[in-house]
Structures are given as structure tokens and as C-alpha cells.
Amino acid sequence: MRQQLIAMLKLQEAMNSKVHPQWRKQDFAWYRAIWVECAELLDHHGWKWWKRQNPDIDQIVLELVDIWHFGLSALLVETDSLEAIAERIESDLSSPKDNGDFTLDLEAFTLYTLTHKQFDCIRFKRLMDGVEMDFASLYTGYVGKNVLNFFRQDHGYKDGTYHKLWGNKEDNEHLVDIVATLDVTAASFSEDLYERMQVVYTEHCK
């Protein structure tokens, strides 16, 4: 787990630097991005008592992965030591289970985020437990989304020349298909994924 955490932290550092070379000095409101994602997550879970709603677990997992991106960024601002951050996260992820009510756990996580303007990994772990999301799923989902974000930036996302539709499927769908063909435990997983995305993108969009 420690090495995979460090790998994710390096990927997040690289992504943030690509968006803004001096991102650590910009004082970005990572906490705000987190609580907005929490609101979107709640919509996928369901909260309207006046209509029938069933939790969309797949979408909840995707929202948790997005929150993880911002959470890692918030932690990276606090210290330059990736080892120290990874050690702290590893300890936090081995902590509590959910309390049995996902919405209450989500509200507790959101309240902490708004009150302290920080990322709380322990409360985040409760949310993972609430949808039976393990660390392997978090790692795979994170690396996949991070590499896709990099790919988008490299292929014209900012200037509007990027094709989100690769043939008749969106890039997110291609991402799932490609990940299924790779060894997610390999040290070269992120590089392998990017290379394969390049091949598929070229086949459909060039």
C-alpha cells in the first residue's frame, strides 16, 4: 500500500504542476472542490424522501475518486515529504468502519471539510467502507482518472481541440475497457495505460 500511495501522490503532484507550475503558491481552495463533490455524491446516493431513489454505487465510487484527487492535493500542500504523507494516509485508512448510515457519514465528512478546510482521510475511509470500496479499487480508479486527465491536457483539452468522443464512445468508457486489459498491479501501470490510450485515441480520432 505504501508504494501505491507514493505513486498516487507523485501523479497528483505532476497533474497539479501541469495545470499550474507554481500550484503550491496559488492557495487553491481544495476543500471547496471537495464539498462540492460531496453534494454531487449525495445526489447519486439519493436524499429525496418524496420519490423513490436507489443509490448508484458506480457513480458514488467515481465521485469518491474525484474527492481523492482533491484530498491528495490538500495533503501535498502541507508537506513536501511524500513518505510522511503516505505513512499518515496508510494509518488513517486502517482506522474506522462506517457507522451504518452513509448519509450521516457523508455529512460528517462534509462538515469537517467546511469547518477545518482540510481533507480528513479517516472520515473518507468511512465513506469507502459504506459502499464496500477497497483500497485496490481506489488505486485503480484514481490512476485511471489521473492518466485520463493528463491525456486530455496533452491532447488539446484547454484549447478545445480534444475529442472527448473516441468513435462512438466517450473517453471514460474507453478508459474502463483499456484498464480491464492491463495489469493494474504493475509498477508501470500508469505508463502502460497512457500508451494504450494513445493507440486507441489515434485509431478513432486521427
Looking at residue 113, its pLDDT comes to 96
- CATH number for the domain harbouring residue 57: 1.10.4010.10
pLDDT band of 96, cuts 50, 70, 90: low
C-alpha–C-alpha distance, residues 134 and 128, integer Å: 7
Q: Are residues 114 and 25 in the same domain?
A: yes
Q: Are residues 22 and 122 in the same domain?
A: yes
| 67 Cβ contact partners less than 8 Å away, ≥ 6 residues apart | 34, 37, 38, 41, 124
Check pLDDT > 80 for residue 99.
no
Mean pLDDT of 148-176: 88
Mean pLDDT of 179-203: 91
What's the mean pLDDT when you consider all of the chain? 90
Q: Are residues 80 and 113 in the same domain?
A: yes
Q: Are residues 70 and 155 in the same domain?
A: no
Number of domains composing the chain: 2
Q: Are residues 129 and 155 in the same domain?
A: no
pLDDT band of 47, cuts 50, 70, 90: confident
Mean pLDDT of 41-54: 85
| Contact of 42 with 103, CB cutoff 8 Å | yes
Q: Are residues 151 and 197 in the same domain?
A: yes
Q: Are residues 9 and 102 in the same domain?
A: yes
Q: Are residues 148 and 80 in the same domain?
A: no
Check pLDDT > 90 for residue 110.
yes
Select from 133, 161, 190 the last residue of a domain: 133
- Residue whose C-alpha cell reads 465513506 in the numeric block: 127
One-letter amino acid identity for 92? D
Check pLDDT > 90 for residue 13.
yes
Looking at residue 98, its pLDDT comes to 64
| Contact of 142 with 65, CB cutoff 8 Å | yes
Q: Are residues 145 and 192 in the same domain?
A: yes
Select from 90, 118, 133 the last residue of a domain: 133
Q: Are residues 109 and 158 in the same domain?
A: no
Q: Are residues 76 and 123 in the same domain?
A: yes
pLDDT band of 1, cuts 50, 70, 90: confident
Structural domain containing residue 170: 138-205
Select from 133, 167, 183 the last residue of a domain: 133
Check pLDDT > 80 for residue 97.
no
Share of the chain above pLDDT 90, in %: 57
Q: Which of 77-81, 97-101, 103-107 has the lowest mean pLDDT?
A: 97-101
Mean pLDDT of 101-124: 94
